[in-house]
């Protein structure tokens, strides 16, 4: 049985400006090259110009040294540093957020499932409030149907990195009243997932993410390139949303 041919990529969509979901560091449980060089090579191969990059060390082992590693990585062309904190110790996280903000880091990535944090954790709510007070944009992993709660009603600008195609309606309902809610496109793999969100609440509620080099980049990039969006909306998703985070400190 032959496969259906892949849809053609429309002209002008060869380059994706920003990938909001890039990790680097050791992955002890997997035989995987998750180095900065590996991520850079994937971006070059798939014509992605910039990546918002976060250290796995900072997420899983030690936030302070991991964030120093991330800031150094941000000296490389095409990489923007994203801080991390350990929500299990919200008091230390509070101090680390202040240190990151003083160093000019504008983005903070949270790892609630990886750190075994529940959505109703007081520490998570506090970390969100502290980051918002510093004007930071948050990126977070976790099932959107569970982890929207600690971000709602706080004026947070937050990108949910794991919004699945099955959660599109839930995301739209919340985004209607939360102007800062954004969904990464990584697992919006349904035939109309990206298009439905853009049509219902606007393309500024979407941003391209791949989770390179831990995940395949080809499929997420192709899905975005062939999305049924007009050119203005496509450019917004492919980089405009993330670029606005970096340009606007408010």
Q: What is the pLDDT of residues 57-104, one digit of tens each?
A: 999 999 999 999 999 999 999 999 999 999 999 999 999 999 999 999
Is the separation of the CB atoms in 40 and 78 below 8 Å?
Answer: yes
Query: In the 3-class helix/strand/coil scheme, how is the chain assigned residue by residue?
Result: CCCCCCCCCCCCCCCEEEEEEEEECCCCCCCCCCCHHHHHHHHHHCCEEEEEEEEHHHHHCCHHHHHHHHHHHCCCCCEEECEECCCCCHHHHHHHHHHHHHCCCCEEEECCCCCCCCCCCHHHHHHHHHHHHCCCEEEECCCHHHHCHHHCCCCCCEEECCCCHHHHHHHHHHHCCCCCEEEECCCCCCCCHHHHHHHHHCHHHEECCCCECCCCCHHHHHHHHCCCCCHHHHHHHHHHHHHHHHHCCC
pTM of the predicted model as reported, rounded to 2 decimal places:
0.95
Looking at the chain, the whole-number percentage of residues with pLDDT higher than 90 is: 88
* pLDDT value at residue 144: 97
Question: Which of the four pLDDT bands, split at 50, 70 and 90, describes residue 10?
Answer: confident
pLDDT (average), residues 93-117 = 97
79 located within any domain: yes
5 located within any domain: no
* pLDDT value at residue 11: 83
Q: How many domains does the chain have?
A: 1
The CATH number linked to 172 is 3.20.20.140
CA-to-CA distance for 196 and 248, rounded, in angstroms? 27
4 located within any domain: no
6 located within any domain: no
pLDDT (average), residues 8-16 = 88
* pLDDT value at residue 250: 54
44 located within any domain: yes
The residue range of the domain holding 186 is: 16-247
DSSP string, 76-89: STTEEE-EE--TTS
78 located within any domain: yes
10 located within any domain: no
1 located within any domain: no
């Amino acid at each position: 049985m032959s496969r259906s041919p892949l849809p053609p990529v429309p002209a002008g969509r060869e380059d994706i400006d920003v990938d909001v979901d890039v990790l680097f560091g050791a992955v002890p449980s997997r035989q995987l090259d998750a180095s900065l060089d590996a991520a850079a090579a994937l971006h070059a191969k798939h014509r992605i110009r910039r990546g918002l990059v976060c250290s796995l060390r900072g997420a899983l082992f030690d936030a302070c040294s991991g964030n120093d590693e991330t800031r150094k990585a941000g000296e490389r062309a095409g990489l923007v540093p994203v801080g991390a904190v350990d929500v299990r110790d919200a008091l230390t996280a509070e101090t680390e957020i202040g240190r990151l903000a003083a160093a000019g880091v504008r983005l903070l990535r949270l790892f609630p499932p990886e750190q075994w944090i529940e959505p109703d954790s007081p520490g998570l709510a506090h970390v969100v409030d502290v980051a918002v007070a510093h004007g930071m944009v948050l990126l977070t992993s976790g099932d959107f149907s569970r982890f929207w709660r600690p971000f709602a009603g706080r004026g947070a600008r937050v990108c949910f990195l794991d919004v699945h195609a099955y959660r599109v309606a839930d995301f739209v309902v919340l985004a209607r009243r939360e102007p800062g809610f954004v969904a990464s496109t990584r697992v919006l793999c349904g035939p109309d997932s990206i298009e439905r969100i853009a049509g219902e609440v606007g393309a500024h509620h979407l941003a391209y993410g791949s989770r390179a080099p831990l995940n395949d980049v080809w499929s997420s990039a192709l899905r975005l390139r062939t999305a049924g969006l007009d050119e203005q909306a496509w450019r917004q998703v492919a980089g405009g949303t993330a670029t606005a985070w970096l340009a606007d400190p408010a």
